[in-house]
Amino acid sequence: MEHAATDDMGTAATLRYADDLHALAGVRLVDDIHLPADRRDFAYDDSDAAWHLRLPSLSVLRLEYRLELRHPDRGTEVICDPANPRRAPGAFGDKSVLELPGYRRPAWLDAAHLVTGGHRPERLAARHPAGP
């Protein structure tokens, strides 16, 4: 994965997926900001043996995403970006995280005053619905 500051073409970042044998039929960005379909398909570069996607300037500074790999047999699989170690957990599995220049992690994520849960033993009296 390559990152770039916004350039004169309005590119916020460039994503790269290596495919030395050009074994894939395509690579597509799966995101939650709903980029137009024509802006999510990677293009293969023979000189680099990799798929590239130049992201336009985004309205966000942090992007959670996955990659959809399209195989020649029309099968697909969705994976995290293997070139990007940053991950965010989610209800449907991890996502890769792209943090663009200017992104600041919210202070509350690192707040020292957050207390981990604990428990206090209690005895509760209960009656069985069928009687004593």
Q: What is the pLDDT of residues 23-59, one digit of tens each?
A: 999 999 999 888 888 899 999 999 999 999 998 888 8
Does 5 score more than 90 pLDDT?
A: no
pTM of the model: 0.74
HSE-up (13 A, CA, CB side) for residue 95: 16
Q: Sketch out the chain's domains with CATH numbers.
A: 11-105 (2.60.40.10)
Q: Which of 60, 44, 42, 48 is nearest to 6 (CA)?
A: 60
pLDDT over 90 for what percent of the chain? 51
